[in-house]
């Protein structure tokens, strides 16, 4: 199979377990969704390729920051949302793996990551605020900083604005609005991309399929 390899602490477990299977002879090739995952996959002996070399991926396995009952997601807590979305959109199926703390009735408790071009940030943020208002939501926005206090820069050289919205009543509508703003490279709403979510909790694993 041709696999998309997700990013984050949960996806890292998947990559490591996949590496064990590869060393036992499993024949797969992967496309990583971040430089961190690329390094992990190489360390685990997983053969890698790019989306320039293959047409489609059979499956992507990735984590999420929030999952709602329609299997719409917020992603990007780790800053990899752009490559994660490109890889998910190139995949026949996306399987989300998470613990059940990520399950929510309505998206928005987790701050929504929005990947932006640094140029014209003020103008971009004003249009983002307008999009929020048109969708009946509001909240504080801030440019993400790294642990060193400097602005966090994504693998593709962009910045991330985190929007604290609380509740996104109409996530598909907001996703469309944000996608049309010049200066917004991508946002962390993954609408209609996930096919299955595997949620681990104290009572075992629950499996949800997209309705």
Q: By the criterion CB under 6 A, which residues form the site for ligand A5P?
A: 6-11, 62-65, 75-81, 84
Tell me the closest approach of the beta carbon of residue 152 to ligand A5P, in angstroms. 11
Q: Which is nearer to ligand A5P, 123 or 205 (CB)?
A: 205
When CB distances to ligand A5P are compared, the closest residue is 8
**Burial track 77-116 (b if 16+ CB lie within 10 A, e otherwise):** bbbbbbbbbbbbebbebbbbbbeeebbbeebbebbbbbbb
Tell me the closest approach of the beta carbon of residue 18 to ligand A5P, in angstroms. 15
Q: In whole angstroms, what is the distance from residue 59 CA to residue 193 CA?
A: 11
User: Residues 66, 84, 115, 186: which is the catalytic one?
Assistant: 84
Tell me the closest approach of the beta carbon of residue 96 to ligand A5P, in angstroms. 9
Tell me the closest approach of the beta carbon of residue 194 to ligand A5P, in angstroms. 11
Angle between helices 171-179 and 121-134 (to 10 degrees): 150
What would the DSSP string read from start to end of 73-129? EE--TTS-HHHHHHHHHTEEEEEEEEEGGGB-SSS-SSPEEEEE-STTHHHHHHHHH
Active site residue 84: yes
Q: Which is nearer to ligand A5P, 129 or 152 (CB)?
A: 152
Q: Which is nearer to ligand A5P, 36 or 131 (CB)?
A: 36
Q: Residue 36 belongs to what H/E stretch?
A: helix 35-43
Q: Which is nearer to ligand A5P, 3 or 81 (CB)?
A: 81
Which residues are identified as catalytic? Answer: 84
């Amino acid at each position: 199979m041709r696999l998309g390899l997700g990013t984050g602490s949960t996806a890292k477990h998947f990559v490591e377990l996949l590496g064990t299977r590869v060393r036992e002879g499993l024949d797969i090739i992967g496309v990583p969704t971040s430089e961190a995952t690329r390094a992990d996959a190489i360390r685990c002996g997983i053969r890698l390729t790019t989306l320039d070399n293959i047409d489609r991926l059979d499956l992507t396995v990735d984590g999420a920051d929030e999952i709602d009952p329609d299997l719409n997601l917020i992603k990007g807590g780790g800053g990899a949302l752009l490559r994660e979305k490109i890889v998910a959109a190139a995949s026949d199926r996306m399987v989300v793996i998470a613990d059940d703390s990520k399950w929510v009735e309505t998206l928005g408790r987790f701050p929504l990551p929005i990947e932006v071009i640094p140029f014209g940030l003020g103008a971009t943020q004003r249009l983002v605020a307008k999009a929020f208002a048109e969708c009946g939501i509001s909240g504080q926005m801030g440019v993400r900083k790294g642990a060193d206090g400097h602005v966090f820069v994504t693998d593709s050289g962009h910045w991330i604005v985190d929007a604290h919205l609380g509740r996104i009543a109409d996530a598909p509508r907001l996703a469309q609005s944000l996608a049309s703003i010049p200066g917004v490279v991508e946002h962390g709403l993954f609408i209609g991309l996930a096919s299955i979510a595997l949620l681990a909790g104290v009572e075992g694993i629950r499996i949800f399929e997209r309705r």
